[in-house]
Amino acid sequence: MAVQFDPNAPDTIVDPYPGLAQLRHEEPMHWNPVSRAWYLTRYEDVRQGFRDKRLSADRIRPFVEAQKNGPDGEEIAFLGEHISHWAVFNDPPRHGHLRGLMNKAFTTRRVESLRGGVAEIVEGLIADWKDGEEIDFHQQFAYPLPATVIALLLGVPQEDVDNLKRWSDALAQFVLTSKTNPDKYRIASDALKEMNAYFADFLEQRRREPGELVTDGLISASDEGDRLTPEELTSSCILLLFAGHETTTQLMANGLLALIRHPDQMADFRANLDDPKYVANAVEELLRFDGPSLTSPRLVAEDFEMHGQTAKAGQRLWLWNCAANRDPDVFEDPERLNLRRENADRHVTFGFGIHFCIGAPLARLEAQVAFPILLKRFSDFELLRETQVWSDSYVSRGMTTLPLRVHR
Mean pLDDT, range 375-390, rounded to an integer = 94
Mean pLDDT, range 59-76, rounded to an integer = 74
Mean pLDDT, range 251-277, rounded to an integer = 97
pLDDT over 70 at 181, yes or no? no
Do the Cβ atoms of 38 and 315 come closer than 8 Å? yes
Cα–Cα distance measured from residue 218 to residue 59, given in angstroms and rounded to the nearest whole number: 25
pLDDT band per the 50, 70, 90 thresholds, residue 184: confident
By C-alpha distance, which of 366, 364, 404 is closest to 140? 404
The lowest-confidence range among 100-109, 152-161, 185-194, 287-296 is 100-109
Cα–Cα distance measured from residue 324 to residue 226, given in angstroms and rounded to the nearest whole number: 37
> Which pLDDT score, from 0 to 100, does residue 5 have?
94
Exposure on the CB side of residue 49, measured as CA atoms within 13 A? 31
Three-state SS at 328 = coil
Do the Cβ atoms of 348 and 46 come closer than 8 Å? yes
> Which pLDDT score, from 0 to 100, does residue 110 have?
79
> Which pLDDT score, from 0 to 100, does residue 188 have?
84
Cα–Cα distance measured from residue 243 to residue 256, given in angstroms and rounded to the nearest whole number: 20
Mean pLDDT, range 58-62, rounded to an integer = 74
Other C-beta atoms lying within 10 Å of the C-beta of residue 165 = 20
- Identify any residues that bridge with 30 across adjacent strands, giving them in sequence order: 39
pLDDT, one tens digit per residue, over 28-42 is 999 999 999 999 999
pLDDT over 70 at 183, yes or no? yes
Of all helices (H) and strands (E), which one includes residue 406? strand 403-407
> Which pLDDT score, from 0 to 100, does residue 20 have?
97
- 367: which residues sit within 8 A by CB, 6+ positions away? 248, 251, 252, 255, 283, 286
* More confident call, 328 vs 160: 328
pLDDT, one tens digit per residue, over 41-56 is 999 999 999 999 999 8
pLDDT over 90 at 347, yes or no? yes
For 210-247, b/e burial (b = at least 16 CB within 10 A) is eeebbbbbbbebbeeeeebeeebbbbbbbbbbbbbbbb
Three-state SS at 136 = strand
> Which pLDDT score, from 0 to 100, does residue 111 have?
83
Spacing of C-alpha 83 from chain mean position? 16
By C-alpha distance, which of 184, 147, 167, 169 is closest to 359? 147
Do the Cβ atoms of 353 and 232 come closer than 8 Å? no
> Which pLDDT score, from 0 to 100, does residue 155 have?
82
- 356: which residues sit within 8 A by CB, 6+ positions away? 350
> Which pLDDT score, from 0 to 100, does residue 14 have?
94
The lowest-confidence range among 210-214, 280-284, 368-372 is 210-214
Q: Where are the beta strands (DSSP E) in 252-354?
A: 295-300, 304-306, 309-311, 316-320
pLDDT band per the 50, 70, 90 thresholds, residue 105: low
All domains of the chain in start order, with CATH: 10-407 (1.10.630.10)
The lowest-confidence range among 63-77, 160-174, 211-225 is 211-225
pLDDT over 70 at 179, yes or no? no
Q: Among the residues of 68-160, which ranges form H helices?
A: 73-83, 94-105, 108-112, 115-126, 137, 144-154
pLDDT, one tens digit per residue, over 192-238 is 888 888 888 888 888 888 877 777 777 776 545 556 677 777 777 77
* More confident call, 407 vs 354: 407
Strands 37-40 and 316-320: parallel
Q: Which pTM does this prediction carry?
A: 0.89
pLDDT, one tens digit per residue, over 131-144 is 999 999 999 999 88
> Which pLDDT score, from 0 to 100, does residue 182 have?
64
Of all helices (H) and strands (E), which one includes residue 404? strand 403-407
Of the chain, the percentage scoring pLDDT greater than 70 comes to 94
Three-state SS at 125 = helix
pLDDT over 70 at 304, yes or no? yes
- 327: which residues sit within 8 A by CB, 6+ positions away? 24, 41, 42, 43, 334
